[in-house]
Amino acid sequence: MFSKAVIIILCLILTNFADAQSTIKIRKQTISQKKCKANVSIGGITDKGSIKKENLLKEKGIVIKWDESCLDSQKIEVKIRSFEISATINGNTSFLASNNESFTREQIQFLTKLKTGTVLHIEQITVRTPDGIRKREPMYLLID
């Protein structure tokens, strides 16, 4: 038979072992990876800003831009499915859609007509992620 002292020592060892395991679990939870965020971008702008018309016309469309802190292993497959641009020219507002990440021919012709001071709206942005389709926040570009 075990003496009371041996049983108490075994209980202390088991308790300390259980505490060590729970401490490890707590540490694993506190060192979680930061979420990696993908933004839609055009000419390096991800929300609102100004862009020179000639720089805008050099862009092929909108792209996914990852936070600089994202590791390659954190990036998931994100594909732009569609977006719409709109602006008001001479009192008329036009809405032109694209069914992928690239500007359509009609959108490019429309962009060439934009004048300095015009606000270009990029809206109805939809992206496909591994867990489904999501809408993104609109972007607003002031033409310089």
Domain that holds residue 135: 38-143
**Tokens at residue 31, please?**
């060192």
User: What is the phi/psi pair of residue 76, to 5°?
Assistant: -105, 165
Asked if 124 contacts 97 with a C-beta cutoff of 8 angstroms, the reply is yes
Name which of 7-11, 43-47, 81-85 the model is least confident about: 7-11
Residue 121 exposed, middle or buried by CB count within 10 Å (0-12, 13-18, 19+): middle
Query: Do 42 and 25 lie in a common domain?
Result: no
**Tokens at residue 123, please?**
């809206």
Report the C-alpha gap between 34 and 38 in whole angstroms.
13
Interval 77-84 mean pLDDT: 92
Between 32 and 14, name the one with better pLDDT: 14
Residues 52-80 have pLDDT tens digits of 999 999 999 999 888 777 777 777 788 99
Query: Do 28 and 42 lie in a common domain?
Result: no
Query: Do 50 and 18 lie in a common domain?
Result: no
Query: Do 64 and 106 lie in a common domain?
Result: yes
Query: Do 22 and 70 lie in a common domain?
Result: no
**Overall number of domains in the chain:** 2
Query: Do 139 and 90 lie in a common domain?
Result: yes
Percent of the chain surpassing pLDDT 90? 48
Query: Do 77 and 130 lie in a common domain?
Result: yes
Residue 82 exposed, middle or buried by CB count within 10 Å (0-12, 13-18, 19+): middle
Query: Do 16 and 67 lie in a common domain?
Result: no
Query: Do 8 and 52 lie in a common domain?
Result: no
